[in-house]
Every structure is written in structure tokens, then in C-alpha cells.
Amino acid sequence: MEKNIVLIGFMGTGKSTVGSRLALRLKRKFVDMDREIERVVGMTVSEIFKRYGEIRFRSEEKLMAQKLARENGLVIAAGGGVVLDQGNIDTLSQNGIIICLEATPIAILERVNRKKGTRPLIKKDVKLQDIEEMLKAREVLYAQADYRVSTNGKSPEQIAYEIIEIVRREA
């Protein structure tokens, strides 16, 4: 039974980009939790937040974490806020290696500014200080990861290779 590889981390750290490349290299199925929730609910994450609020989205996220944790051999890109519910981390780690992708606040700001419309918790005029405050608030949650990998100055391929090395050591 192959454990899932679960990528967590703040928005803009590369979970989806790295996850899809990692899955390809390992010949595993890739699941982006946010995209899967969108498929099931029939609306975008931003629309869910706008129409029903964050509580509804977090409830869908919890259900998705439970569903995916019952599968094997997946590469999962968790949403940036999946760590806000300890139950999600507990569930995903039962059958998964939790890897937190990290980036500097400035790198995150540059990345999220490129995708503003798809980030429901990022205001249009997000400032570096906002990112720093959110990262500080979530640090204790990200610290629960089995491994942490910096994405600063690395290509998605380099990061995927680092994670493959981690997974090989775990096996």
C-alpha cells in the first residue's frame, strides 16, 4: 500500500504546480483538493466563499480530506487553509506523508498577485505585511508536517525531485 503524498502550505507556495509534476514523475494520480471541491459542488472556490461563506467551504474541504485519505498512492495538493482544521491534518496523515511547501513572504506576494481573482482570502490590495501576518498565524499548523521543503529559487521540477528523494527515504 503506497501512502499518499500530501502537499500543504500557504497559498502561492506551489502545491498544485509541484504536485502535478510530482504525480507525473511517480506515475500517480494527482488530486488538487480545491479543484475537486469545485467539481463536486459545481462552482469555483471563490463562488463558494462569496455565496455561502468560508464555513461552508471548510466543511466541503473536511469531507474531501476524509474521502481522499481513504485512497492510496495519490499526490494531493491540499488547499492553503486545510491546516486550519486539525482534524484535516489528522485525517490526511493517517495514510499520507505530509510535506509543507514554503516560500518567503515576498515570493508568495509576487505569486498571488499573478492570480488575484482565484484567491478568495486575498484582497485586491494585499500587502507584504498581510502575508507575513497570515504566515505567522499559521506557522504552528505548518510545523506539524513530516517534512518541509523550500520552493524559493527552485523550479517545480527541482522541488518535485527533492520530494521524490524524501519519499524514497520513507519507503
Domain boundaries of the chain, sorted by first residue = 4-166
Give 75-109 pLDDT, tens digit per residue. 999 998 899 999 999 999 999 999 999 999 999 98
Domain 4-166 CATH class label:
alpha beta
467551504: which residue's cell? 57
Q: Spell out the alpha helix ranges (H) of 10-155.
A: 15-26, 33-41, 45-52, 54-69, 86-94, 105-114, 128-142
pLDDT at 126: 76
Q: What is the mean pLDDT of the chain?
A: 92
116 vs 167: CA distance, rounded Å: 33
Give 8-42 pLDDT, tens digit per residue. 999 899 999 999 999 999 999 999 999 999 999 99
pLDDT at 115: 67
User: Which triple of cell numbers denotes residue 19?
Assistant: 504536485
Give 41-69 pLDDT, tens digit per residue. 999 998 999 999 999 999 999 999 999 99
